[in-house]
Chain A
Amino acid sequence: MNSSAIVMLVFAVVVLYGGLVYYMVKAAKGKNKKWRRNENNCIKKL
């Protein structure tokens, strides 16, 4: 692959997959993980 194509490849990988991993870690550490532990929270009576 030529060098400019490799630069764009690295750019896309960092933004797309780096961003994905960053937000997955944020979600894993966030307050919303309580939901997974207590499924009763999932039921809302209308």
Chain B
Amino acid sequence: MVKERERWGSRSSFIFAAVGAAIGLGNVWRFPYITYRYGGGAFLIPYLIALITAGIPLMILEYSIGIKTQGAPPVALKKIWAKAEWIGWFSVVLVFVLAAYYANIMSWAVNYFYHSFTLAWGKTGPEINNFFNNVMLNKSTSPGVLGMVQWPVLLGLAITWIFIYLCLFRGVRTLGKIVYFTVGIPWLILIIMVIRGLTLPGAIEGLNYYLTPNFSALKDPIVWLAAYGQIFFTLSLAMGTLIVYASYLPEDSDITANAFITSLANCGTSFFAGFAVFSTLGYLAGSMGVTVPEVTTSGLGLAFITYPTAINLLPVASQLFGALFFLLLLTLGIDSAFSQIEPVVGSFVDKWGLKKEWILPAICIFGFIVGIPYTTRGGFYWVDIIDYFVANYGLTIVGLLECIVIGYVFGASKIRRYINSVSDVTIGPWWDIFIMVITPAILGISLIRALYKLMTEGYGGYPRWTAFTGIGLIVLLIVISFILSKSKEVTHE
């Protein structure tokens, strides 16, 4: 059987898709807060060092695996080392679990986008807080109490999965055109929001909190770990996405320049988003008569409580900027969401030769069903808990194992020779050191530190049994990965 592998329509399509996969909600709601919290402008130093010593080397590694092997993660890692197929499957099942709860966060943004036209979330801070926690999510008292499905959230979840399906069903060539919009629109909205933010009173005060350096923070090892953690998660590493996206490039495609462009575009977007966030926080603090740190928050609190509060206080066109902000979140999130499904689909297609026309809708429906528990009253807690375990343990283990397999089993210098043979920008032996020593060391330290904290403090103030559930999930996913790796492959001749 002769089968043609799908291909991107152009190099820029691939770069936009990879940038879209990397740029997500975290660029807006996590990076600016982490920067402010860990030394302001001084944090940019460990952040950029982490980008150069771990982020870009790992991205080069993943691109090279995808381009050289022309396969999705399980098939790709099997070609590198027969015993490593399960690592590929582990990244695939992890990213599927991640996609299930990520789609749920998207469903909240879908609901807020709808409500932004009437500013239905209320007027004051406490009203907005109440709307998110008690009206939309109707949160239960603990993760052990799931309660009823919240129908608007379920509807938002269905809409999200339909969008994921529609973006992927025509194949990567069409996807390569869609990403121009899903990456271009959030950049355009960010520019509008930065201009709006900078023209508000108090904006400069907010930016001072964002960028004023506190160099003494650099003495704290936690700041450096935070920088490496931020780089690792923001670039969508270890999820299988970059491997499968790169596998749709021809074998003689450039690797290094693509990796530098993708990484720098992602980090540049994060840095730029900080101006939209902190200029608005400066305005919010000034309007409320409090200091910027008192209104500074991250994650869901920033997106669904703090930002709507600031939007309400805008002198003109609150509805417009509310809709723009949640459209920003939706467009930022959708290309990350479908990039999480593509490695799953690609793995089934490459391993068993299944037809994409059948496997894609099946995975989308299954993903929707797996996501239903997150739409219950207790679902909010589980989004937080599962996110913690998938990111801090699952993805970190995959990243660590990828470095070991390539660095020590396959040979870092061997794959570097291949990378240099196809790339416009060559890399030196420094890359071997980053892949064999620095990146695995940092990931190993992060993993041990997270485990130690979990054992001594638990996570997030949740009951102890949730930690066992999280660790149990990771172990279960490893077992499933081994089972999938043992099944017989369908080869094309």
Task: Select B425's contact among A9, A20, A26, beta carbons within 8 Å.
Answer: A26
Judging by beta carbons under 8 Å apart, are A12 and B253 in contact? Answer: no
Q: Is B316 an interface residue (CB 8 A)?
A: no
Given A23-B425, A44-B4, A46-B70, A32 and B254 touching (CB < 8 A)? yes
Q: Are B271 and A1 in contact (CB under 8 A)?
A: no
Residues of B within 8 A of A30 (CB): 254, 257, 424-425
* Interchain CA distance A24-B258 in the complex, whole Å: 9
CA distance A15 to B154 in the complex (A): 43
The yes or no answer to B433 lying at the interface (CB within 8 A) is no
| Contact pick for B264, options A19, A33, A39, A42, CB 8 Å | A19
Binary contact track B413-430/A, C-beta < 8 Å → 1, others 0 = 000000000001100000
Q: Is B211 on the interface with A (CB-CB < 8 A)?
A: yes
Give chain A's interface secondary structure class: helix
Complex interface: stretch among B6-14, B236-244, B375-383, B448-456: B6-14
Q: Which of chain A's residues has its CB closest to B257's CB? A: A27
For the complex, give the distance between the alpha carbons of A35 and B265 in Å.
22
- Please count the residue pairs between chain A and chain B whose beta carbons lie under 8 angstroms apart in the complex: 108
What residues of B have a CB within 8 angstroms of the CB of A4 in the complex? 41, 212-213
Assembled-state Cα–Cα distance A6/B258 (Å): 30
Are the C-beta atoms of B268 and A16 separated by less than 8 Å?
Answer: yes
A41 CA to B8 CA, complexed, in Å: 11
Within 8 Å CB of B191, what residues of A? none
Nearest residue in A to B48 (C-beta to C-beta)? A15
Q: Give min CB distance, B149 to chain A, whole Å.
A: 43
Given known A-B contacts A5-B207, A45-B4, A46-B5, A27 and B11 have beta carbons under 8 A apart:
yes
Q: How far is B7's CA from A44's CA once the two chains are assembled, in angstroms?
A: 9
B492 at the interface (CB under 8 A from A): yes
Give bound CA distance, A43 to B268, whole Å. 33
CB-CB contacts below 8 Å: B463-493 with A: 492
Nearest-Cβ distance from residue A17 to partner chain B, whole angstroms: 6
Chain A residues close to B by CB (< 8 Å): 1-2, 4-9, 11-12, 15-17, 19-20, 23-24, 26-27, 29-33, 35-36, 39, 41-46
- B residues contacting A by CB (< 8 A) are 2-5, 7-11, 40-42, 44, 48, 70, 204, 207-208, 210-213, 250-254, 257-258, 260-261, 264-265, 267-268, 271, 424-425, 492
- 5 pairs of residues in contact across A and B, judged by CB atoms under 8 Å: A23-B425, A26-B257, A29-B424, A32-B253, A39-B9
